[in-house]
Amino acid sequence: MSARPQPLVVGAGPAGIRAAAALVAAGLRPLVVDEAPACGGQIYRQRLVQDGRSTKDLYGSEAGKAERLHAAFAALDGHIDYWPQALLWNLRDGTADIAVAGTSRRVAYDGLILATGATDRVLPVPGWTLPGVFTLGGSQVSLKAQGCAIGSRVVFAGSGPLLYLVAWQYMKAGVEVAAVLDAAPATAKLNLIRAVPLDAGIVLRGARFVAELRLRGVAIRTGVEGLRFEGEGRVSGVAWREGGRERRLACDGVGYGLALRSETQLADLAGCTFRFDDRDRAWLPTRDVAGRSSVAGVYLAGDGAGIAGADAAERAGERAALALLEDRGLAVDRARVVALETELARIGRLRDVLEAAFPFPAHWAGAIDDSITLCRCEGITAGAVREAAKHFDIGEINRLKAVSRVGMGRCQGRICAAASAEVLAAATGKPIDGVGRLRAQAPVKPIPLALQLAADRSEDAA
């Protein structure tokens, strides 16, 4: 091994695995860290214990991809250093602080590939904090990792392709799905016709989900407004407006989400420049087609750099690794580079269409009642946020955080920042990109006060 420190890959999902594999193929030995106990990321998350379910049961039509990816990672054994259940909580100037196995290690890296993935985006609606209400991603995790359903009669609500996928997966798992409540009007789905030449398979699969759900009697509602979750102490039903009429359904579990948001705190700590992305309606680290960020030696891949899905993540991960190799002056396969970039461009166009078909209901933000909790960690209501913005004459999200505490709690705004920015924009009449971006601070997630700095260095840890 050379005297140069190892490259560091953060995240062992589709992007991180393909990145690590490409580095290994070129003779490098990266360190791969991930919070999860096993590889796969969110989408190809593995069960915690073998429970008799097949990969087909777990991943449905994506089982082949899941198997290939898990196998690809297994094949890296011995060629990488892999720290599962490791939290990278701080980054600076080529050094990462990583909490793993009860201590914190300082790791010097040369080349950093951030493949940090995404989590659900939500806008608060009445009852969103009731027990029994989960995010769409959370509903899926509980099914995949633990084999648990979030209820026995479940409603899925919100927007985004995940809405139908999770509903279908629950139905397949034998759970009663009472309804799918889609925020987008039915006409939005006409956009999907444009997706056919880009990826007919995805359109067909979506159509099949809807058809099979309908066949089983699942109510599919579009253009849903005024969504709220009801119940005393736990969710017992959902209510909404549809074409001006009030509707109501009993249920004991809700999966709710409005597509995904990128996990960008590490890119922020790494010093990357951000720009506002209209498609994701979010601030994202800038990158070139290869995944190079604005900071030399820092590469971005997968949903953490912008929502594009698992297929894109695999390619972006590999492309970012090739960029790292190129930047080290190592030879890369040009044909492969071109193929990856062509595929990524195609998926990018597909994403444009999907966004039009599953639009984010931004107009919900202005309608959030003052009494609704916006920031769960700190218990801050939408009304308190609006009041603080008014009292202090504030139209910028970091200032809003300072005076209202919104985004200051355990989640550091990962859950509430998008919604808070929407509420602030609506309250001040500013465009969403005019209220700024919540700056990240370490630690990325909470760490124990008693966490000790390990005496060793990564080099001997391997």
Partner 1 sequence: MSRHLDIDVAIVGGGLVGSSAALALRNMGFDVALLDKGFCGAQASGVNYGGVRRQGRPREQLPLSQRAHAVWPRLKELIGIDGEFLRSGHLKLARSEADMASLEAYAAEVADQGLDLELIGHNGLRERFPWIDGSILGASLCAGDGHANPRLVSAGFASAARRAGVHVLENTPVAGITRNGEGFALEAGTGTTLTAAIVINSAGAWADRFAADFGEPVPLTRIYPSMIVTEPLPPVMTVNIGIEGGGIYARQVERGNCVVGGERALPLADPDFSRPRGDGALAIMNRTAEVFPALRHAQAIRFWSGTEAAMPDRNPVIGFSGTTPGLIHAFGFTGAGFQIAPGVGEVLAELVRDGRTSTPIEAFSISRFSRPATSRPDQHRTSHGSGADQPPEPHNRGAHS
Chain positions contacting partner 1, by CB under 8 A: 89-90, 92, 95, 97, 104, 106, 269, 271, 378, 391-394, 396, 398-399, 402-403, 405, 408-410, 412, 441-443, 446-453
Angle between helices 382-391 and 397-404 (to 10 degrees): 110
The residues, ordered by sequence, that sit 6+ positions from 202 with a Cβ below 8 Å of its Cβ are 195, 350
Nearer to partner 1, 224 or 408 (CB): 408
The least distance separating partner 1 from the CB of residue 87, rounded to whole angstroms, comes to 12
Only one residue has tokens 């990128």, namely 262
CB of 225 to partner 1, least distance (A): 35
CB nearer to partner 1: give 329 or 448.
448
Nearest to partner 1 of 169, 412 (CB atom)? 412
For residues 49 and 148, the answer to whether their CB atoms sit within 8 Å is no
d(CA 409, CA 446): 10
Q: 393: helix, coil or strand?
A: coil
Q: How far is the CB of 72 from partner 1 (least distance, A)?
A: 32
Q: Find out whether 154 and 177 touch, Cβ atoms under 8 Å.
A: yes
Rounded to a whole number, what is the distance in angstroms from the first to the last CA of the chain?
12
CB of 106 to partner 1, least distance (A): 7
| Half-sphere exposure for 453 (CA within 13 Å, toward CB) | 7
Buried b (16+ CB within 10 A) or exposed e, 268-299: bbbebebeebebbbbbbbebeebbbbbeebbb
Smallest gap from residue 287 Cβ to partner 1 (A): 19
Q: Which is nearer to partner 1, 104 or 262 (CB)?
A: 104
Residue 289 or residue 447: which is nearer to partner 1 going by CB?
447
Q: Toward partner 1, which CB reaches closer, 187 or 441?
A: 441
Q: Min. distance of Cβ 27 from partner 1 in angstroms? A: 30
CB of 439 to partner 1, least distance (A): 8
Contact 403, 423 (CB under 8 A): no
Q: How far apart are the C-alpha atoms of 356 and 190, rounded to whole Å?
A: 9
Instruction: Tell me the one-letter amino acid at 338.
Output: V
Concatenated DSSP letters of 154-198: EEEEEESHHHHHHHHHHHHTT-EEEEEEESS-GGGGGGGGGGTTT
Residue 116: exposure state from Cβ atoms within 10 A (0-12, 13-18, ≥19): buried
Strand, helix or coil for residue 420: helix
Compare residues 97 and 303 and give the one whose CB is closer to partner 1.
97
Q: Least distance in Å: CB of 327 to partner 1?
A: 20
Question: Cβ closer to partner 1: 233 or 448?
Answer: 448
Nearer to partner 1, 52 or 448 (CB): 448
**Least distance CB 379 / partner 1 (angstroms):** 9
In the complex, least distance from residue 447 CB atom to partner 1, rounded to whole angstroms: 6
For partner 1, the closer of residues 56 and 391 by Cβ is: 391
Q: How far apart are CA 461 and CA 458, in angstroms?
A: 5
